[in-house]
Structure 1
């Protein structure tokens, strides 16, 4: 994976990293950012971040957190929020967390307080839970708000009762097989893609 040392005269521009140009770029980045400094990549992403956030509960060091963070990077989420334990397993993120903005909230109440003053003009943004619990609404038929926090629980137990209560709505991904639930990382990817379909491509749910 990656590219070797730059061949020929070096390209102009402050975004390029001399070490990467000299030694090659083996990072997990799209071709657009080959040989760029990390802070230059972050600045470019910041200029076009999408206004949805991702919140992940971290009470049992769930291995899926890294996968959710990696997907949040792929869809250029505004930021990701870790609720509970500050330390989380970063292996699945494949270093993508370095290109994002990370926030830590010791409790659900702290996340809710942050969301209450976030968004355009500090008017607050809703928490949208993703979990197949009683009373949840199908994601496929719900019109996701443009500014929101998509909240995910841990693999197995899902969203805690505290976070469910804090959410404006809890959505589930419709399933048609025998399994009770899909992987938490997969559900997160589906939810983020649903947001992109709605707000980037303008496809309203039916």
Structure 2
């Protein structure tokens, strides 16, 4: 399990430098400290306090270390997982990781090639657990004991296929794996066979399919609409 490697293009542009907040007001004497010891609150990064925080994080995590953010997220992650096949270095995976972070998925599972393009993740892979499985069978072996008390996590495919059932109105399990296929080809035969059900997203225009990253976002939001409580204050 990893929070991800350095993504391509992580250096901020001049425009991006205007995002976020500057140094902590009042300087080091005003930095947040432990009331008992007087030491710097361990959640905070002294480099960010001194120089500002330009990261893509919500305000409640400004100036926090990466480790502190991940630890806090881990206390309230949702029990759904997202898996996506990666046989041809799918460019959508970064977007899927970013959306999974936004909806607080337990983990993202990359099935197939280990390497994936992190640019679309916008550095959110530092805060999102990502696990690799070489094959669909490996994903299934993991899911067979990944539920509470070692129970099976159901795997649900998402693809516009004959015989699939509408995502709209489908009672998604609280703990589950949402499995998406490679862009352009969709779920592999192995992934279709692995899925308890295959769900499709209703479409009303002329296009035959939608982008895998967009489909993942819709499916994750469907889970959130059914199961998530109020979001924490920013």
Shorter-chain TM-score range: over 0.9
Matched, 1:6 2:6: no
1:61 is aligned to: 89
Match of residue 78, structure 1, among 88, 94, 106 = 106
Cα distance in 2 for residues equivalent to 1:19 and 1:180: 49
Cα distance in 1 for residues equivalent to 2:172 and 2:207: 26
Provide closer, same or farther for how the CA distance between residues 201 and 32 of structure 1 changes in structure 2, counting only shifts above 3 A: closer
Q: CA deviation at 1:201?
A: 4.8
Match of residue 32, structure 1, among 60, 66, 69 = 60
- 1:156-196 Cα shifts (integer Å, max 9, x gaps): 10111110110101101001111101111111000000000
Match of residue 44, structure 1, among 56, 62, 72 = 72
Match of residue 153, structure 1, among 167, 171, 181 = 181
SS at match of 1:140: coil
Instruction: Please give the TM-score of this superposition, normalised by the length of structure 1.
Output: 0.96
Q: CA deviation at 1:101?
A: 1.1
- 1:141-167 Cα shifts (integer Å, max 9, x gaps): 210000000111121101111101101
1:93 is aligned to: 121
Task: Tell me which protein shows more strand as a share of its residues.
Answer: 1
Deviates more, 1:46-55 or 1:5-14: 5-14
Cα distance in 2 for residues equivalent to 1:114 and 1:104: 11
Cα distance in 2 for residues equivalent to 1:171 and 1:154: 16
Unaligned runs of 5+ in 1: none
Task: Tell me which protein shows more helix as a share of its residues.
Answer: 1
Instruction: Please give the TM-score of this superposition, normalised by the length of structure 2.
Output: 0.85
The count of aligned residue pairs is: 202
| Runs of 4+ displaced beyond 2 Å | none
Cα distance in 2 for residues equivalent to 1:48 and 1:181: 33
Unaligned runs of 5+ in 2: 1-18, 34-40
1:140 is aligned to: 168
Cα distance in 2 for residues equivalent to 1:2 and 1:141: 39
Provide the aligned C-alpha RMSD in A: 1.0
Cα distance in 2 for residues equivalent to 1:68 and 1:101: 12
